[in-house]
Every structure is written in C-alpha cells, then in structure tokens.
Amino acid sequence: MSNRSSNSSSSNDTLGDGSALIIVDMQNDFMPGGSLPVPEADKIIPVVNKYIEIFMAKGLPIFASRDWHPPNHISFRQRGGIWPVHCVRNTFGAKFHPDLKLPRSATVVSKATDPNREAYSAFDRTELADMLRAKGIKRLFVAGVATDYCVKNTVLDALGHGFEVILLEDATKGLTNSTAAIEEMKSKGVKVIRLEQLITVRNR
C-alpha cells in the first residue's frame, strides 16, 4: 500500500499494489474462424500480451476467465438459446488462443459451467471475488472479449462488488455494439484507458 494517491480523481489508474489484470474469454471459438467469432478479436492478442508483460514485471496477479460450457448448455440454439455451440469444455474451441502468452502463474476462472444457467460475468457463481479479496485487490484492469457481453457483465459485477474498474480499450473487441457498451460502463464509473496511458502512469 505504498502508492496511494490523496487525489481521488487520479488514484484509480495507478498500477501498483492492489491492482490485478482480468483477461476475459480469449478463447478459440471467439476468434475469427471460431464458432462464435468476435470480429478482429485476434488483433488484440499482442496488446493483451503487452499488458500481461507489464503486470508480470510488477509482480501483480493475472486472472483469465473462460466460457466453459457443457455440451448441452442452455445458451445454445439446440436448447432454444441465442448462440451457436461454442466453448464446450475440454474442446479446442474452449482453449485459450495459442498466441496468448498467459503465464503459468495466472489463475483461470471457468464460468457458465451449469447446463441450465447462462452466465456472462466472470463473477457469476465463481470464486473470483473471494480470490481477489484474499489477495487484497481493489482495482481491476479488464481486457478481452466480448466487450458488449462477457466483458461488460464482468465489469459491472466488479463495480457491484466494490472494485475500481479500468477498461483497457485497446485490448477489447465486441460482437455487435462496443460503443454503447463502453458508454454504459463509463456512465457507471468505469475508467477507460489505453496502453500509452498505463505506461505514462507506470513511469511517473
């Protein structure tokens, strides 16, 4: 707790003690060529890797969520849901993209594992909030896909749990409406930054 700022307007973009990186659903099925592709999702991989490098260099914790559905998940069209079959647990589509440089020390959070419940948020029936609190985390930097589904729901839940949230705008891609999703997150108190701004803060 060495770098607390007394100025609350600038305190929540500071990368230091109490910060963690959450990478949402960077899985093959959400990439171009996958069964539920998020346009250009593969383009953010190098940027996500850069954030991973920065958090690793600072010794800060990294969490990676994954959509981890059973084969008969309620969100699939075959069961009346709105999505094609995607991210079925233990399949290639559910694996993280091979270019994502997730460190061994990262904590993987599996979500939407119940066949009869949809869960977009990485906090929904997972241990994420407890694990973050156990590590003294107060501030979450969020990257990944899809901006307008799992990222947004994870971010809003994080606010509900009392975490400060910073969305990494250059490390997220949406399915249909990223702009509206980002505006909604901003209106609820989320700060939105890009790599350049994080480095500026880091080197201050």
Q: What are the catalytic residues?
A: 25, 111, 150
**Residue 137: which of Zn ion, ligand VGL, none does it interact with, CB under 5 to 8 A by kind?**
none
Considering only residues 99 through 138, tell me which ones interact with ligand VGL, judged by CB under 6 A.
120
Q: Nearest-CA neighbor of 172 among 187, 192, 156, 197?
A: 192
**Smallest distance, Å, CB 120 to ligand VGL?**
6
Of the candidates 13, 25, 29, 67, which one interacts with Zn ion according to CB under 5 A? Answer: 67
Judged by CB under 6 A, does residue 67 bind ligand VGL? yes
**C-beta of residue 174 within 8 angstroms of C-beta of residue 146:** yes
Shortest separation between residue 75's beta carbon and Zn ion, angstroms: 5
Residue pair 163/139 in contact by the 8 Å Cβ criterion: yes
The piece of 4-12, 43-51, 125-133, 146-154 that touches ligand VGL (CB under 6 A) is 146-154
| Of the candidates 100, 89, 204, 88, the residue with the CA atom closest to the CA atom of residue 143 | 100
Q: Which residue type, as a one-letter code, is found at position 42?
A: D
Residue number, 51 or 83, with CB nearest to ligand VGL: 83
Does 83 engage in binding with ligand VGL (CB under 6 A)? yes
Using the rule CB under 6 A, is 25 a contact of ligand VGL? yes
13 binds, among ligand VGL, Zn ion, none (CB under 5 to 8 A by kind): none
Residue 108: HSE in the Cβ half-sphere, 13 Å Cα cutoff: 13
Q: What is the dihedral of CA 101, 167, 141, 151, to 10 degrees?
A: -70
146 sits near ligand VGL (criterion: CB under 6 A): yes
Q: Is 143 in the site for ligand VGL (CB under 6 A)?
A: no
Residue 156 binds to ligand VGL (criterion: CB under 6 A): no
Q: Which is nearer to Zn ion, 66 or 139 (CB)?
A: 66
Stretch that binds ligand VGL, among 45-53, 93-101, 142-150, 183-191 (CB under 6 A): 142-150
User: Contact between 150 and ligand VGL (CB under 6 A)?
Assistant: yes
Return d(Cα 200, Cα 194) in angstroms, integer. 10
> Where do contacts with ligand VGL occur on this chain (CB under 6 A)?
25, 67, 75, 83, 120, 145-146, 149-150
